[in-house]
Structure formats: structure tokens, C-alpha cells
Amino acid sequence: MPAWQPVVFQGWPAWRYTAGSVTLHAVPVIGGRLMGMAWQGHELCFIHPALAGRMPDIDDPEAWAQCCEGWHFPLWGGGKTWIAPQSGWPCDEPWRDLDSGCWQASVSGFRGDILQMVSPVCRQSGLQVRRSIQPGPGDGTWTIEHQVMNWGNKPFTLGLWDVLMLRRPGTVIARLTAPNTLEATEGQPPLAWLAEQDAMHLDGVGLALHCRDAAEWKVGLSASPAALQVELAAGSTPLRYVRTLSPESGARYAHGHPLEVFNAPVLPYFEVESHSPLRCLSPGQSLIWRVEESLRCDRM
């Protein structure tokens, strides 16, 4: 029996993988998302309750506006692959074919343990994105391999951008490469404000970001090791989610740093975000980048 099984999740056709206490749900039909990450049935990903199970016609302005709920694009939830920088997005929204289009999914590997989701070729940018999710050697570990291909007729400078929406509350922990490698994103509250609000604790290079309240802020950082740890809870069970990158010396990043954390002002979620180095892709070229992830009980 394949490790990934077709199921219905939150009203969407989906794929499920379970190993020990951890269950992952992937939803190809709205942007190839890792929509669910649960510990013993306790869901940790934010999934917008008003959008669960919906699949809009992305070419129908009225249907699209209903899903956006007054925002620039639908906040579906879960984890997705975006194209950075955000300043390059058309009309301040990610490319629709990539973010909300219907991706194709297939299962491969000797044990059916690799789930591959492939986007349509974006009609606006000429880009196509592939996400492959493969469980690791131990329960609660997996790798997401991202690939973007340029099928357009001109070079495209970009970075791959992995964004995961988690349910509040949570605390993000990192060890900075140096104190000055943490900075507030332009247009967001300064670091001093975060400290005053008890949302940030910085002890030398030890950083803790507390995502508890409905207040908008965002920071970028470089860490050593290149990892973010997130303290969560499933009821009374303390959990630790970790995402790790392979560092690249001297790399340039679309937003200045390989890691970002965002706290939402209204909806009850926060985001852990990772960036690949910037690359200029000529027509026909592609970029592949991997993120290692794990979810474990913090008592272990």
C-alpha cells in the first residue's frame, strides 16, 4: 500500500501521509499546498475556516473576489511555494496560476512515499513550480524539494520562498549569526516596539519571537545553524517544529535574509518563511532547493 493515500481533507481532494503521531495532508488543487500538519489529530497549520473546501475559478473576477474577502488574494492557509521578491508580484498578489491554480499530483518511490505536485505553466510569468514531499528516515521528519522552471522567453531573477502558516500561539527560536542579522521588514514595526510588546527577546545571538497576539509585524534574520525552531502545543503536549536550510556562503536573498517570521494582525496565525538564494534563470533553466522539516514531542 502506498505511503501517501488519496483522501478528502477539509472538503478538498487531498493526499495523506501518517507516520507515528504525525499526519501530513497535501492539497494539490489550490496551489500544491501542504495544508495540514497534525500531531495525534491536533491540527497545527492555520486553515482559513471560510475557505475550507473551496476551489474558485481564478479567471472569474466575482468568484475570485469572494475568496479574497477584501484582501489582495485568498489566504488559504497551510504551506506553499511563492516566488520572491514580493515587490515583483503583479498587482500586489502572487501569480494566481501558481498560488491558487489546480496542480497535478502523482506518487512515486519504491514505497509510494514521494508525493510530487506540479503547477500549470503560469500564463503571466512563464514559470512552473514543482513541490515534492518525501518523508525522512524517522517518524515526524520530511523534506520538501522545490523546483521552479522558466518556460518564458526572457530571463527571470527570482528566489524560491517557502511559507508555512501556523496557528497561534507559538514561539519561534533561532540562533543569529550575529546580533545585526536581525531586522524589521520595511514598513513593519521596529525591533524596539517588538521588545516593548514582549513579542521579542534577544540575548546576544539567542532570539525568541512570541507569536501570541493579533498584531502585525515581520522580521528577517540569518541564523547559524540556518534553522527556525517553533514551540507549539497539542493540548498539554509540548511540540517542536523545526525547519532547516543548507546555508550558502555569500548568497543574496530576495528579501535580504534567508529566514523570515510574520505575525498576522487579524486572523489567528503566524508564518515561518524560508528563502532560496536569488538566481537569474534564462529560458529553459530551473532552480532546485530543499527544506528539511520535523515535528516532535518536546519532551523527547
| Model pTM score | 0.96
Which own/partner contact pairs does 95-98 have at CB distance under 8 Å and 24+ positions apart?
A: 95/122, 95/124, 95/125, 95/127, 96/58, 96/64, 96/124, 97/58, 97/121, 97/122, 97/123, 97/124, 98/31, 98/122, 98/125, 98/127, 98/129
pLDDT, mean of residues 244-254: 90
Tens of pLDDT, residues 182-211 = 999 999 999 999 999 999 999 999 999 999
Q: How many domains does the chain have?
A: 1
Residue located via cell numbers 529553459: 284
Q: Residue 263 is part of a domain; what is its CATH number?
A: 2.70.98.10
Say yes or no to pLDDT of 146 above 60: yes
Q: What is the pLDDT of residues 220-244, one digit of tens each?
A: 999 999 999 999 999 999 999 999 9
Can you tell me the mean pLDDT for 258-273?
Answer: 97
Which residue range is the domain that position 187 belongs to? 5-297
